[in-house]
C-alpha cells in the first residue's frame, strides 16, 4: 500500500466531515418529524 499524500488526507478528512454533517442533518429531521405538533422544538 502506498503512503497517503496530502491530497489524500484532505479528501479523507472531507469525507469524514460530510458523513458527520449528513448524520446530524438526518438526526435533526427525524427529531422534527417525531415531535408532537403542539410542542415547540427549540
Instruction: Give domain status of residue 15, yes or no.
Output: yes
Give the tens place of pLDDT for each residue, 1-42: 567 788 899 999 999 999 999 999 999 999 988 888 876 665
Q: How far apart are CA 7 and CA 4, in angstroms?
A: 8
pLDDT score of 37 = 80
pTM of the model: 0.65
Residue 42 lies in a domain: no
Burial string for 18-37 (b: 16+ CB within 10 Å, else e) reads: eeeeeeeeeeeeeeeeeeee
| Total domain count, the chain | 1
pLDDT for res 41: 60
Is the residue at 35 inside a domain?
A: no
Any domain includes 37: no
pLDDT of residue 29: 94
Q: 16 lies in which domain range?
A: 1-30
In a domain, 24, yes or no: yes
Amino acid at each position: 500500500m502506498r503512503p497517503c499524500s496530502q491530497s489524500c488526507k484532505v479528501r479523507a478528512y472531507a469525507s469524514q466531515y460530510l458523513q458527520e454533517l449528513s448524520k446530524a442533518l438526518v438526526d435533526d429531521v427525524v427529531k422534527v418529524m417525531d415531535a408532537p405538533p403542539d410542542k415547540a422544538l427549540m
